[in-house]
A and B are shown apart, each in its own frame.
Chain A
Amino acid sequence: MTAHNNWEAVCTVDDLVPESGIAVWTEAGPVAVFYLPHHLPALFAISHTDPFSGANVLARGITGDLKGEPVVASPLYKQHFSLRTGICMEDESVRVKVYPALLDGDRVRLKVPASQRRTTAA
Chain B
Amino acid sequence: MANKTLIVIGNGMVGHHFLEQFAETPAAADYDIHVFGEEPLIAYDRVHLSEYFGGSTHADLALGTAEDYAAKGLTLHLDEPVTELDRDNRKVLTPKGEYTYDAVVLATGSYPFVPPIDGHDRDHCLVYRTLADLDAIRASAEGRKTGVVVGGGLLGLEAANALKSLGLEAHVVEFAPRLMPVQLDADGGALLKRKIEELGVQVHTEKATTAIVPGEEARLRMNFSDDTHLETDLIVFSAGIRPQDTLARSSGLEIGERGGIVIDDQCTTSDPQVFAIGECALWDNRIFGLVAPGYTMARTLAARLNQDAEAGFRGADMSTKLKLLGVDVGSIGDAHGATPGARNIRFNDEQAGTYGRLVISEDGKKLLGAILVGDNGPYDTLLQYALNGIDLPKNPESLILPVSEGGAPALGPDALPETASICSCHNVSKGDICGAIDAGCTDLGAVKGETKASTGCGGCAALLKSVVDNELEKRGVEVSKDICEHFPYSRQELFHLVKVNGIRTFHSLIKQYGKGHGCDICKPAVASILATCWNEHIMATDHVPLQDTNDTFMANMQKNGTYSIVPRIPGGEITPDKLIVLGEVAKEYNLYTKITGGQRVDLFGATLSELPEIWEKLIAAGFETGHAYGKSVRTVKSCVGSTWCRYGVQDSVGMAIRLEERYKGLRSPHKLKFAVSGCTRECAEAQSKDIGVIATENGWNLYVCGNGGMRPRHADLFATDLSDDELIRTIDRVLMFYVRTADRLQRTSVWLENLEGGLDYLKEVVLDDSLGLGEELEAHMQAIIGTYQCEWKTTVEDPEKRKRFREFVNAPEKKDPVQHWTTERDQRRPLANADIA
Q: Mark B473-501, 1 if CB is under 8 A from A, else 0.
A: 00000000000011000000000000000
| Residues in B whose Cβ lies below 8 Å from that of A38 | 517
Q: Is A17 within 8 A of B517, CB to CB? A: no
Q: Report the minimal beta-carbon distance from B16 to chain A, rounded to whole angstroms.
A: 39
Interface membership of A85, Cβ < 8 A: no
Across the interface, which residues of B come within 8 angstroms of A66, CB to CB?
485, 519
Give the size of the chain B interface in residues (CB under 8 angstroms): 38
Given contacts A25-B808, A54-B560, A75-B549, 7 further A-B contacts (CB under 8 A): A19-B545, A53-B560, A56-B561, A56-B816, A62-B519, A64-B520, A78-B520
User: Contacting B516 at CB < 8 Å: which of A15, A57, A65, A76?
Assistant: A65
Q: Is the CB of B809 within 8 A of A54?
A: no
A56 and B817 alpha carbons, distance in the complex (Å): 8
B557 touches A75 (CB 8 A): yes
C-alpha spacing A39/B516, complex, angstroms: 10
Name B residues whose Cβ lies closer than 8 Å to a Cβ of A.
485-486, 516-520, 522-524, 541, 544-550, 552-553, 557, 559-561, 608, 803-804, 806-811, 814, 816-818, 833
Q: What size tier do the contact residues of chain A reach?
A: 35 or more
**DSSP majority for the B interface?**
loop
B485 close to A55 (CB less than 8 A) = no
Question: Could you say which residues of chain B place their CB within 8 Å of the CB of A30?
Answer: 808, 816-817
Residues in A with CB closer than 8 Å to B559 are 53, 55, 76
Does the CB pair B517–A39 fall under 8 Å?
yes
Chain B hits for A63, CB < 8 A: 517, 545
Contact A25 B811 (CB under 8 A): yes
Q: Mark A38-82, 1 if CB is under 8 A from B, else 0.
A: 110000000001000111110011111111101101011010100
A10, B806: Cα distance in complex, Å: 14
Instruction: Collect the chain A residues with CB atoms within 8 Å of residue B552's CB.
Output: 20, 60
> Which residue among A64, A66, A70, A76 has the maximum number of chain B CB atoms within 10 Å of its CB?
A64
Tell me the smallest distance from the CB of B435 to a CB of chain A, in Å. Answer: 32
Closest Cβ of chain B to A38, distance in Å, is 6
Are A20 and B809 in contact (CB-based, < 8 A)?
no
Tell me the nearest residue of chain A to B830, going by C-beta: A55
A62 shortest CB reach to chain B, Å: 4
Chain B residues in 8 Å Cβ range of A22: 806, 809
The residues of B that contact A54 with a CB separation of less than 8 Å are 560, 818, 833
Measured between beta carbons, the chain B residues less than 8 angstroms from A39 are 517
Find out whether the CB atom of B553 lies under 8 angstroms from the CB atom of A60: yes
Cα distance A46–B310 when bound, in Å? 64
Nearest chain-B residue to A57 (Cβ)?
B561
Does B519 lie within 8 Å of A64, measured CB to CB?
yes
Closest 9 CB pairs between A and B? A55-B561, A19-B545, A64-B519, A75-B549, A73-B520, A20-B545, A122-B817, A62-B520, A25-B811
B517–A36 CB distance below 8 A: yes
CA A19 – CA B541 in complex, angstroms? 10
Distance (whole angstroms) from the CB of B541 to the closest CB of chain A: 8
Question: Is the beta-carbon distance between B553 and A56 smaller than 8 angstroms?
Answer: no
Known: A64-B517, A76-B559. A121 touches B817 (CB 8 A): yes
